[in-house]
Amino acid sequence: MNNTFQERITILINENGMTQREFAEAIGVSKSSVQSYVSGTYAGGKALAKIARYFRVSVDWLLGLSNIRDGGVRKWVKEGK
Average pLDDT over the chain, rounded to whole?
Answer: 86
pLDDT tens per residue across span 26-35: 999 999 999 9
Measured distance CA(16)–CA(11) in Å, rounded: 8
Measured distance CA(22)–CA(72) in Å, rounded: 26
67-76, Cβ contacts within 8 angstroms, sequence gap of 24 or more:
67/1, 67/2
pLDDT tens per residue across span 46-69: 999 999 999 999 999 999 898 888
* CATH for 22: 1.10.260.40
Question: Residue 35: which domain range?
Answer: 5-78
Side-chain-side CA neighbours of residue 35 (13 Å): 4
- Whether residue 64 contacts residue 8, with contact meaning beta carbons closer than 8 Å, is answered with yes
Our count of domains for the chain comes to: 1
